[in-house]
């Protein structure tokens, strides 16, 4: 059995098919872990969702900011953006099943994979959070996504404040900080104050901010953290970090790594297919 991590698909179903063909993926034998932003901007997010839903227990998916945006649009909370490619899902006969399936997915996954502790998130982890705490906080949001208060949560999900975590946070503010960290974070201060205006590479960090994974004393530094979201960062394997958003939807690559190919002190095996959204 092979275990694969896959970066942001963003509706690029053709690239996903070619990647699965390249790794000779078999749902009866292998398992996929997808790092969020399954949909949007690419040409066929409907096919991506149907494919992943059809894989059942062979595909474990994280929710990214674009996936949450789909839920917000579907519930009338946010208007569609000019460059969204969500109409196929919103007009599909199986829309209710697809959206329900999406709500069953995760904000974070933490497990031991063939001897390696790996925490998976879409975007980032605040410096003060341990891996165990990250999962507990993700579970709080997941419970709301699967419960009767989903629409109310989506109405209060958007916003940049509070900018930092505090254990005393409650209600919408608490959930918003969790969502922002796990699905939007790139830069923060050493103390964990988040910043969302800068979307470039690490060299574009505003004064006083740094990439979240460079925060001194980060409590998840003792585990491998796998994430997507940051296409300007590209593929990165360094100091127990695995960045897998390689800009597929922007004409880059769709990337995967095979976890069970890794051994101590040897890099993970990277598999890529070139993507064209045309």
**CATH number, domain 3-274, options 3.60.150.10, 3.90.1580.10, 3.40.50.620, 3.60.21.10:** 3.60.21.10
For residue range 38-95, list pLDDT tens digits in order.
999 999 999 999 999 999 999 999 999 999 999 999 999 999 999 999 999 999 999 9
d(CA 79, CA 42): 18
pLDDT score recorded for residue 268: 85
pLDDT score recorded for residue 196: 96
Distances (CA, A) of 214 to 35, 170, 185, 270: 20, 28, 13, 23
CA-CA-CA-CA dihedral for 206, 197, 225, 40, to nearest 10 = -150
Indicate if the pLDDT at residue 178 is higher than 70.
yes
Instruction: Tell me the pLDDT band of 259, cut-offs 50, 70 and 90.
Output: confident
pLDDT score recorded for residue 265: 54
Indicate if the pLDDT at residue 202 is higher than 70.
yes
CB atoms closer than 10 angstroms to residue 91: 9
For residue range 87-118, list pLDDT tens digits in order.
999 999 999 999 999 999 999 999 998 888 99
The pTM of the full predicted model, rounded to 2 decimals, is 0.96
Q: Which two tokens stand for residue 212?
A: 């979240």
pLDDT score recorded for residue 277: 54
The domain ranges of the chain are: 3-274
Average confidence score pLDDT of the chain? 95
d(CA 98, CA 56): 13
Which burial class, exposed, middle or buried, applies to 234 when counting CB atoms under 10 A from its CB (0-12, 13-18, 19+)?
middle
Alpha carbon 71 to its chain centroid, in Å, reads: 15
Per-residue burial over 22-45, b if 16 or more Cβ lie within 10 Å, else e, is ebebeeeebbbbbbbbbbbbbbbb
Residues 6+ apart with CB under 8 A from 209: 187, 188, 189, 195, 198
Task: Average the pLDDT over 219-239 and give the result.
Answer: 95
For residue range 125-166, list pLDDT tens digits in order.
999 999 999 999 999 999 999 999 999 999 999 999 999 999
Indicate if the pLDDT at residue 264 is higher than 70.
no
Indicate if the pLDDT at residue 201 is higher than 80.
yes
Indicate if the pLDDT at residue 23 is higher than 80.
yes
């Amino acid at each position: 059995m092979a275990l694969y991590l896959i970066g942001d698909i963003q509706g690029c179903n053709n690239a996903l098919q070619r990647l699965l063909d390249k790794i000779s993926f078999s749902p009866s034998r292998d398992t996929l872990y997808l790092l969020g932003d399954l949909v949007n901007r690419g040409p066929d997010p409907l096919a991506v969702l149907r494919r992943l839903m059809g894989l059942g227990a062979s595909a474990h998916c994280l929710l990214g900011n674009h996936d949450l945006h789909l839920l917000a649009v579907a519930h009338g909370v946010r208007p569609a953006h000019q460059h969204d490619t969500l109409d196929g899902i919103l007009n599909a006969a199986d829309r209710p099943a697809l959206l329900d399936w999406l709500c069953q997915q995760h904000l974070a996954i933490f497990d031991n994979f063939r001897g390696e502790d790996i925490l998976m998130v879409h975007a980032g982890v605040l410096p003060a959070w341990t891996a165990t705490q990250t999962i507990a906080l993700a579970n709080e949001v997941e419970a709301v996504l699967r419960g009767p208060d989903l629409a109310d949560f989506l109405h209060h999900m958007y916003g940049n404040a509070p900018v930092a975590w505090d254990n005393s946070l409650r209600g919408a503010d608490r959930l918003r900080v969790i969502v922002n960290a796990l699905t939007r974070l790139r830069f923060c201060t050493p103390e964990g104050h988040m910043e969302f205006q800068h979307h470039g590479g690490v060299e574009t960090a505003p004064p006083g901010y740094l990439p979240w994974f460079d925060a001194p004393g980060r409590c998840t530094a003792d585990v491998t953290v796998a994430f997507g979201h940051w296409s300007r960062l590209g593929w990165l394997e360094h100091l127990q970090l695995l960045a897998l958003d390689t800009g597929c939807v922007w004409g880059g690559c769709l990337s995967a790594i095979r976890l069970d190919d890794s051994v101590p002190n040897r890099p993970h095996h990277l598999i890529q297919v070139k993507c064209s959204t045309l």
